[in-house]
Amino acid sequence: MDVLVYEARQESDTDRLGRALAEVLPDGCVVALCGTLGAGKTRLVQALAEACGVSRREVISPTFVLIQEYRGRRTLYHFDAYRIHDEEEFQALGPEEYFDSPALVVIEWADRVAGCLPAERLEIDLEITGDTSRRFEIRATGPLFSGVLPELARRLGLEFADSRQA
């Protein structure tokens, strides 16, 4: 599986990644975010939502309500699995209905519900590397995402060696 690594030195770099994702992600995709508290998951979702025409101020971590819907130029469903006890509890939310929609679906703490996620998804692991710096490891699975990583790399000015062309 190919991996694109993006190093964000400051919060504006995280915002840049969110905007680029909004430009390259196809409709009807699931984005799985994993990382510790304070890693920048919600900030990334805010930037993604803003690029989809949603006010950044509207986007909060849905920890207590579990899911938020944001409507802009694109619809975004924002899940937070932090308080989910198990995959059965997540399934009770009816995630398939969202996964099968033309909207973007973003799930924070996705590692807690990995068995419930579609096989075809974009996975982003966030790592804190400093006060404002972060490392993003981005993996794409499935044909829906065949051109996403190379195009994302191009928009971010990064090198990307696509193993499918090797």
User: In 18-154, at which residue ranges do the beta strands (DSSP E only) sit?
Assistant: 30-34, 67-71, 75-80, 104-108, 122-128, 134-140
Least confident of 31-35, 111-115, 145-149: 145-149
Residue 77's Cα: distance from chain center in Å? 11
Predicted pLDDT of residue 118: 96
Starting at the earlier edge strand, list the strands of the sheet with 134-140: 3-8, 134-140, 122-128, 30-34, 104-108, 75-80, 67-71
Region 5-17: mean pLDDT is: 96
CB 108 within 8 A of CB 79: yes
Region 78-88: mean pLDDT is: 92
Domain ranges of the chain: 3-158
CA distances from 84 to 73, 89, 108, 111, 160 (A): 30, 6, 11, 11, 35
N residues, the chain: 166
pLDDT in tens, 118-159: 999 999 999 999 999 999 999 998 888 889 999 999 999 998
pTM, whole model, 2 decimals?
0.92
**Which CATH superfamily is 3-158 part of?**
P-loop containing nucleotide triphosphate hydrolases (3.40.50.300)
Predicted pLDDT of residue 166: 46
Average pLDDT score over the chain: 92
CA distances from 146 to 20, 78, 121, 124, 139 (A): 16, 23, 11, 16, 11
